[in-house]
Amino acid sequence: MAEKISVLVPAHDVEDRIRGMAAEISERYAGEELHIIGILKGSVFFMCELAKYITVPVTLDFMSVSSYGSGTASSGTIKLKKDLDDPIEGKNVIIAEDILDSGRTLKYLIELIKERNPKSLMTVTLLDKPERREYEVDLDMTGFEIPDKFVVGYGLDYDQKYRNLNYIGVLEFTED
Ligand code: PRP
């Protein structure tokens, strides 16, 4: 089976939207400082591009989680693989994700972060697939709502490939 990628969101549209999101965030946190938490690995490209255009002071940290199966019950099927390096108490925290799908990962992360008493918490994703939602989560800002297709690029992978594409593409498998 060959892999074929068609463009869903071109590079310049992704970049324009991220700059717009950065402008909104900068306005919302004017006079404050921000601590952006990226969730490895998918969020990295989005997080960096967003941070580059935010005009208030920004610090960065990373977390890594892994999820098991497609459990319906709880976020108990998620395991924390890498915790934050620094405490977040009293900080304005933004969780940056590449995609919100079932909502399981973000629900887990929101609960974990809130327990650590940040000053504020905002959730931001580049992509949102509302049709796939299984868990109710508070998403504050998204770049694009997309249909339920297998997407790659701008951090999103298939078998760890295609994360470095500068656009969002739909991956299809063809016979040739
Ligand atoms: C992806 C994505 C989110 C999660 C979203 O991560 O980066 O963290 O899945 O799905 P959900 O809403 O159904 O929980 P993945 O586990 O593929 O890891 P990666 O970021 O390393 O690609």
Give pLDDT tens digits along the chain (176 positions). Answer: 899 999 999 999 999 999 999 999 999 999 999 999 999 999 999 999 999 999 999 999 999 999 875 544 444 589 999 999 999 999 999 999 999 999 999 999 999 999 999 999 999 999 999 999 999 999 999 999 999 999 999 999 999 999 999 999 999 999 87
97 lines ligand 1 (CB under 6 A): yes
For the chain, state the CA radius of gyration.
Answer: 16
**Max CA pair span of the chain:** 56
Residue 171, token pair as written in the block: 């991956």
CA 72 from chain centre, in angstroms, equals: 21
- The domains found in the chain, sorted by start residue, are 12-146 (3.40.50.2020)
Distance, CA 150 to ligand 1 centroid (Å)?
13
CB-side exposure of 96: number of CA atoms within 13 Å? Answer: 30
Rounded distance from Cα 42 to ligand 1 centre (Å): 7
From the list 146, 113, 131, 120, the residue with the least C-alpha distance to 38 is: 113
Q: Which of 16, 86, 98, 101 is catalytic?
A: 101
